[in-house]
Amino acid sequence: MSLATVRWGALVLGVAGVALTLLFHWQVFFWVPTEASMGIVQRIFYIHLPAAWVGFLAFGIVAICSAVYLWLGEEKLDQAAVAAAEGGMIFTTIVLTSGPLWARLAWGTWWTWDPRLTLTLLLWFIYLGYFLVRSSTENPERGRRFAAVVGIVGALNIPLIHMSVVWFRSLHPPPIVARQDGPQLHPDMLTTVFTALGAWTLIFFSLFLLRYGVGRLEARIEQGVIPS
Amino acid sequence: MTSWIALAAAVAAKDLRVEFRTRERIVVMGAFIVLAGVLFNYAIDRTAVHPREIAAGLVWVTIVLSGLLGLGRTFELEKEDGAMDALLAAPLPRDALFVGKVMANTLLLWGVAFFTLAVFWLFFQLQMPGNPLPLFGVLLLGTTGFAAMGTLFGGITAGTRMQESLLPVLLFPLVVPLITFGVRATADLLAGFPPEHSAPSLRVLGAFTLIALTAGVGLFRFIVED
């Protein structure tokens, strides 16, 4: 992929993502019906859930790009992994801020040891380790390998961390969209969730491409292809 | 040609020999465990809760924290006088080097686990179950997984500017399953539940150990290469 393609891709995805974001905010504030038991605060859901999905998606991309980077040694894959990790960090931060705000009103507490909340918190710290390892290594090539190992082992461990946190009893509602007997949600709510999910997936990939392009440029400066 | 396992055992024997001659890590970890017990004694209000009731959690936290002291220094010796380069230049597969290091660390951590249990038994009058073997099994299995994960990440932090101070930040999120299920099984066994009760927890500890070993064997060579 040439840098020009990357830039165009980021622009197109970004514009589409922002348009969908405006649309889903309109849906959230004016269109979707208010949930019966929790009231208006339940509308945080439309920000919270898609952010969580995108955060987890990003982590998957980090793990896959890291593994293939170690395998092929292609620097572009590392730049892709970093781009995904930074995006993932943003979206897990959104989950971790919107979650407690909602929890305060819905459950009466800012923080609970809820499985998915805890899993997201741990995921956030694994991302943090990914960046710390990278920034505290003198030899950048070595830092990239270290970070890739952190990304892969983190992803391998996710199922077990998930089991551990689920084992603790939870206030968090069971999945209501991704379940085997189909989503249990008002159709308008479902539309809003999917609009939001689409919007943030587009924005994530737009940021991903932008960051990837910056990474490529940085590498070119390091290699002296472009004068700094 | 020397077999793979003999090579790994040679690395482990070297590490343990050095450890028993210098006694650096053993003394520090042992002292840490006793002093942690002393601190817990003063930190816990005995009128509210008896340390025995939360012993499983205290035992595991002590194992993990004192284990970190040792794991962080796994590659300390190799960093001096180009010993790592010599080790890498030796006709020794990287995964055998990793497994050797894990074997030495595992034995150290087994010592840590038993010593912690003994100290807490002495300090807080722990009631040992009638048949202590399942309890020992939980501790041995859990510390093996911890040693494998810690050796891999000890290799990473040894190559960073921040050295072992980075280790807890990398390791703690990953050892959550170990703590959850290790503490669960330990608490149940100390409370006198039959061993079958802890079988699910043991399976998770086993899975954790397997993942840590597999990941280490597969990924270690990317850490030590220059």
Residue closest to A56 by CA, chosen among A18, A94, A23: A94
For residue A159, tell me if it sits in a domain: yes
Mean pLDDT check: name the lowest of A6-20, A36-50, A56-70.
A36-50
Q: For residue B27, what are the domain limits?
A: 4-224
Structural contact between residues A71 and A56, judged by C-beta atoms closer than 8 angstroms: no
Residues with Cβ within 8 Å of A22's Cβ and at least 6 positions away in sequence, in order, are none
Mean pLDDT to the nearest integer, A29-50: 77
Residues of B whose CB is below 8 A from A134: none
Residues of A whose CB is below 8 A from B225: 145
**pLDDT for the residue numbered A184:** 66
**pLDDT for the residue numbered A174:** 59
| Interface-testing mutation among A92, A164, A169, with chain B (most B C-beta atoms within 10 A) | A164
Mean pLDDT to the nearest integer, A96-125: 83
**pLDDT for the residue numbered A157:** 79
Residues of A whose CB is below 8 A from B211: 156-157, 160
Tokens of A209: 């491409």
Q: How far is CA A218 from the centre of its chain?
A: 24
A148 vs A129: CA distance, rounded Å: 11
Residue A160 to residue B204, Cβ atoms within 8 A: yes
B120 vs B114: CA distance, rounded Å: 10
**pLDDT for the residue numbered B216:** 93
Q: For chain A, how many structural domains are there in total? A: 1
Residue A145 to residue B174, Cβ atoms within 8 A: no
Give whole-number Cα distances, B75 to A2, A129, B20, B113, B140, in Å. Answer: 42, 20, 16, 22, 23
Mean pLDDT for each consecutive 10-residue tract of chain B (226 residues)?
86 91 90 93 84 86 93 83 84 90 94 94 86 91 94 91 88 89 90 86 91 93 84
Structural contact between residues A122 and A161, judged by C-beta atoms closer than 8 angstroms: yes
Predicted confidence (pLDDT) at residue A169 exceeds the cutoff of 70 = no
For residue A228, tell me if it sits in a domain: no
A3-29 per-position pLDDT tens digit? 888 889 989 999 999 999 888 888 878
Residue A164 to residue B181, Cβ atoms within 8 A: yes
| Interface-testing mutation among B98, B156, B161, with chain A (most A C-beta atoms within 10 A) | B156
**pLDDT for the residue numbered A165:** 65
Residue A133 to residue B170, Cβ atoms within 8 A: yes
Nearest to A136 among B161, B179, B219 (CB): B161
A interface with B, Cβ–Cβ below 8 Å? 70, 122-123, 125-126, 128-129, 132-133, 136-139, 142, 145-146, 148-150, 152-154, 156-157, 160-161, 163-165, 167-168
For residue A227, tell me if it sits in a domain: no
Residue A136 to residue B211, Cβ atoms within 8 A: no
**pLDDT for the residue numbered B196:** 85
Q: For residue A172, what are the domain limits?
A: 3-222
B45 vs A200: CA distance, rounded Å: 49
| DSSP tag of A136 | T
- Higher pLDDT residue, A182 or B79? B79
Reported confidence tier of residue A181, pLDDT bands at 50, 70, 90: low
A127-137 per-position pLDDT tens digit? 899 999 999 98
**pLDDT for the residue numbered A130:** 93
**pLDDT for the residue numbered A195:** 87
B83-109 per-position pLDDT tens digit? 888 888 888 888 999 999 999 999 999
Locus of tokens 């995904």: A84
Residue closest to A160 by CA, chosen among A122, A125, A131, A114: A122
**pLDDT for the residue numbered B87:** 85
A175 vs A178: CA distance, rounded Å: 6
Residues with Cβ within 8 Å of B165's Cβ and at least 6 positions away in sequence, in order, are B157
Q: For chain B, how many structural domains are there in total? A: 1
| Interface-testing mutation among A149, A150, A156, with chain B (most B C-beta atoms within 10 A) | A149
Angle, in degrees to the nearest 10, between helices A45-72 and A75-106: 160
User: What pTM was computed for the model?
Assistant: 0.87
B12 vs B185: CA distance, rounded Å: 29
Nearest to A150 among B170, B179, B180 (CB): B170
Q: State how far residue B167 is from chain A, nearest Cα, in angstroms.
A: 9
Nearest to A153 among B162, B174, B177 (CB): B174
CA max distance for chain B: 64
Residue B152 to residue A149, Cβ atoms within 8 A: yes
- Bridge partners of A39, per DSSP, are A35
